[in-house]
Amino acid sequence: MITQDFAESNLPHNKEAEEFLLGSILFGGMASKAIVDQFRSDFFYFARHQVIFQQIQFLLAEEGVIEPVLLIDQMERNGLLENAGGRDFVQELGKKVRTSTNALEYGSIVQQTARRRAVIEVCQDVETRAKQGQAPADDLIEEASTLILQLADNSRRKNVTHMNEALENVFKLIDARERGENAGVLTGFKDLDDKTSGLQPTDLVIVAGRPSMGKTTFSLNIALHAALKNKVPVAIFSLEMSHDQIAANMLSNAAVVPAHHIYKNQITDPEWERLTNRAVDLSKAPIFIDDSPGLNALTIRSRARLLHQKHNLGLIVIDYLQLLELGGGRAENRQQEISQISRSLKQLARELEVPVLTISQLSRAVESRESKKPQMSDLRESGAIEQDADLIMLLFREEYYKPDSEEAKGLAEVIIAKHRKGSVGSFKLSFRGETLTFAEPPLPSDTF
């Protein structure tokens, strides 16, 4: 939206810096292309300056040049010359400077005043809504912090990428994989890592299953491997288990000590030694657990941003989707709310450029079928989840339904039902419930 030229406004602005910046761009010609590429018209406060900069961008895109005479001609043909202050004003801009060497300094001043205006706008909006008293205070606080963090992020983020740069990134990725390097977060499960090259940045990953299939255990195994083995900073947002339970379960897994021994204080001397040794390792692992009551999609996004700024997250785990509420918004029904939550989590993955692994329940339809093996259509409120997810894994333990089956004993199947960047299929893992461990068959007896 173009701002009106109210010189008397008390909003932060610097008319001289805006004019000198435009003059430097016009004087510098194509040498100023880098400045134009990284700037936005709404950084300018005055409407005429916004118009001029927009037309410079248009001229550069269409003609590949930055030239005052062509700029004036273009604006005249588009009927925008008067909105830009007229021919004399545009010509004078180019005469204000004798060098473009200070363009970056002028640009910094203009950008800083624009950011201050944006902060004021956010604060005024929150103040107005707080006075109206309709929105819950917690929602207002989370929205305000989210918007402020977005302002900080947007100042660094480049929104448009040329195809040449995108292709360079593709070949860097190909080259890295040829050298045996993985661009994604390794899970510790060879079959899964071979198929996916690890959980990929920007991906929304869904781990789904019926109760007692081991969804949370499987997801925490991945988180533990990433943080403990590869030092990947991991954030875990838990709506079901407390941070103490998560820590105890991870310790059980890492030390290969039955979880019920920990909870019931039935620890043997050898187990105690393993627990204390692995606790030292775990205490150094970059794992951050948020089990705050009332977590919703909005608070998770806000807190994930803060954690990412401080710790450069490599993986986010959310347990679980059906317990989440939207927060800061209203949906007509639960299906619509799940749809908005799913979209929000995908946006979070893209924004922070980390995989977001979200645990999801499956519907009871599985129980009514003769074959209990899950299908993607069994996802609750599945339409939006299927659409937004990049990778969907369904967990199935036949042993749960056939406890007397020797073939099914101690085995789990991971079904890759959707893989946007590769093939689907399935693979088997060993499962030991007492130590909350999934592993490649055969399951090791005393090692992590």
In this prediction, residue 3 has a pLDDT band, given cuts at 50, 70 and 90, of very low
pLDDT at 177 over 80: no
Same domain for 108 and 137, yes or no, is no
Structural domain containing residue 98: 15-112
Contacts of 394 (CB under 8 A, 6+ apart): 208, 209, 362, 374, 375, 376, 378, 414, 415, 417
How much is the pLDDT for 403?
A: 86
In angstroms, the CA 245 to CA 231 distance is 22
pLDDT at 243 over 70: yes
Helix 137-154 vs helix 297-311: angle between axes, to the nearest 10 degrees?
40
- Quick one: which H or E segment has residue 392? strand 391-396
For residue 58, what is the domain's CATH number? 1.10.860.10
Average pLDDT, the chain: 83
pLDDT at 342 over 50: yes
The pair of three-digit structure tokens given for residue 241, joined into one six-digit string: 């288990």
pLDDT at 448 over 50: no
How much is the pLDDT for 9?
A: 58
Nearest one of 24, 50, 32, 56 to 114, comparing CA atoms: 50
29: left (phi over 0), alpha (psi -120 to 50) or beta: left
Across 289-294, average pLDDT? 86
In angstroms, the CA 352 to CA 170 distance is 19
In angstroms, the CA 443 to CA 448 distance is 10
* The model's pTM: 0.66
In angstroms, the CA 321 to CA 106 distance is 47
pLDDT at 161 over 80: no
Residue 258 within a domain:
yes
Residue 67 within a domain:
yes
How much is the pLDDT for 392?
A: 94
The residue with greater pLDDT, 327 or 125, is 125
The pair of three-digit structure tokens given for residue 193, joined into one six-digit string: 């890592």
Same domain for 199 and 318, yes or no, is yes
Q: What's the number of domains the chain is made of?
A: 3
How much is the pLDDT for 359?
A: 94
pLDDT at 204 over 70: yes
- Three-state DSSP at 410 gives coil
Residue 273 within a domain:
yes
Across 89-106, average pLDDT? 80
In this prediction, residue 192 has a pLDDT band, given cuts at 50, 70 and 90, of very high
Which candidate in 127, 181, 240, 434 is catalytic? 240
Residue 23 within a domain:
yes
pLDDT at 29 over 50: yes
Across 267-292, average pLDDT? 89
For residue 245, what is the domain's CATH number? 3.40.50.300
Residue 170 within a domain:
no
With beta carbons less than 8 A apart as the criterion, state whether 313 and 304 touch.
yes
Same domain for 133 and 194, yes or no, is no
% the chain with pLDDT above 90: 22
Same domain for 420 and 346, yes or no, is yes
In this prediction, residue 154 has a pLDDT band, given cuts at 50, 70 and 90, of low
Same domain for 324 and 296, yes or no, is yes
Least confident among 72-86, 137-151, 363-377: 137-151
- Three-state DSSP at 139 gives helix
Across 144-164, average pLDDT? 64
How much is the pLDDT for 414?
A: 94
Residue 38 within a domain:
yes
Same domain for 140 and 41, yes or no, is no
Same domain for 227 and 205, yes or no, is yes
In angstroms, the CA 139 to CA 144 distance is 8
Residue 176 within a domain:
no
Across 365-378, average pLDDT? 82
Same domain for 282 and 413, yes or no, is yes
Instruction: Identify the domain boundary among 112, 130, 165.
Output: 112
Across 151-176, average pLDDT? 65
Same domain for 395 and 418, yes or no, is yes
How much is the pLDDT for 138?
A: 72
The residue with greater pLDDT, 186 or 97, is 186
The pair of three-digit structure tokens given for residue 184, joined into one six-digit string: 């994604």
Q: What are phi and psi of 363, to 5 degrees?
A: -70, 165
In this prediction, residue 203 has a pLDDT band, given cuts at 50, 70 and 90, of very high
In this prediction, residue 232 has a pLDDT band, given cuts at 50, 70 and 90, of very high
Same domain for 145 and 74, yes or no, is no
The residue with greater pLDDT, 292 or 156, is 292
pLDDT at 285 over 50: yes
Q: What are phi and psi of 276, to 5 degrees?
A: -65, -40
In this prediction, residue 7 has a pLDDT band, given cuts at 50, 70 and 90, of very low
Across 28-33, average pLDDT? 72
Same domain for 53 and 126, yes or no, is no
Question: What's the pLDDT tens digit per position in 386-399?
Answer: 888 999 999 999 88
Across 309-314, average pLDDT? 90
SS3 of 59-110: HHHHHCCCCHHHHHHHHHHCCCCCCCCCHHHHHHHHHCCCCCCCHHHHHHHH
Catalytic-residue membership of 407: no
Residue 6 within a domain:
no
Question: What's the pLDDT tens digit per position in 75-86?
Answer: 888 888 888 888
Q: CB neighbours (10 Å) of residue 70?
A: 14
Same domain for 202 and 251, yes or no, is yes
pLDDT at 1 over 50: no
The residue with greater pLDDT, 252 or 174, is 252
